[in-house]
Amino acid sequence: MEYHTTVLLHQGVEALDVDPKGVYVDVTFGGGGHSNVLLQELGDRGRLLAFDQDQDVIPRILQDSRFQLFEANFRFIKNFLKVAGVDKVDGLIADLGVSGHHFDSSDRGFSFRFKSDLDMRMNRNQSLDAKQVVNEYELDDLIRIFRRYGETSFAPKIARRILKARSEGVVATTDDLSKVVESCVPQHKFKSELTKIFQAIRIEVNDELGALEELLVALPDVVRTGGRVVIISYHSLEDRLVKHFFRSGNLDDNQEKDLYGNVLRSFNPLGKVVKPTPEEIEQNPRARSAKMRIAQKS
């Protein structure tokens, strides 16, 4: 089975307008799709740094003297660029969300298609996992993450049913959680609501939005003037953060302007949102929700 089918593979790299002598960062290495294409665009003097916190990617490290992989979350990009002796980069690409490898691994707990322990950790060295969230979080905290990260109106009902199930025994597996959700939502909404609950727990376990916020805030310090940033997101929570930051220069979408009415921001959005073609979606259905935004450091 293929590790991961990269979404917007060539479009993402083309959007970077690669300088063959430049220094670039792929902050979500995954299956190495974007990194491989980037290396093809770089010359002998070019350099590519990459990040991934999942130990499963280690055997896939590219054997190329121009390439360096950091086994770390991209939220720490500033620290690791210093380690690499890099002041600023010419471009950065981020392909957010969960890789096909995560969804297709029967033992990682990311998908309800397989019966497995509730895990969902992208970095298996961290302590917090999905089983802890489901079995130890208070009612109000479960409602909060289901509402915020799952955007479901069934949050209170599902959270209360989880607490009831916990009183009868540990909710330990993906099947256990699926049965809890199935017991309290209409049958015709079961799959969509279960998807939302799994997404919410996964985002909480991996602090996905917190990591994205830290990356965005770090961008002005790590990208050189004229450099480009390309970010591919897969749900509205991620896309909203990226859109606000590119448009307003901050996470709150609070536009500050100079005396001439110009928005004070570090990046200028380039073009419209790019989405996969119908052909790509047909070949890779997981691409259907992808949105790519491009911005240039001002």
Total Cβ atoms within 10 A of residue 270: 15
Residue-wise burial string across 195-214, b where 16 or more C-beta atoms lie within 10 A, e elsewhere: ebbbbbbbbbbbbbbebbeb
Assess whether 241 and 119 both reside in one domain. no
Same domain, yes or no: 284 and 220: yes
- The domain boundary, picked from 145, 176, 206, lies at 206
pLDDT, position 54: 84
CATH code for position 261 = 3.40.50.150
Question: Is residue 217 in a domain?
Answer: yes
For 57, 103, 287, the CA distances from 106, given in Å and listed in that order, are 17, 8, 21
- Rounded CA-CA distance 46/233 in Å is 27
pLDDT at 102: 66
pLDDT value for 5 = 76
> Both 132 and 95 in a single domain?
no
In total, the chain counts a number of residues equal to: 298
Q: Which residues of the chain have pLDDT under 50?
A: 1
Q: Is residue 92 part of a domain?
A: yes
Global pTM reads 0.92
State residue 110's pLDDT score: 77
Domain count of the chain? 2
Q: Are residues 83 and 14 in the same domain?
A: yes
Q: Same domain for 215 and 272?
A: yes
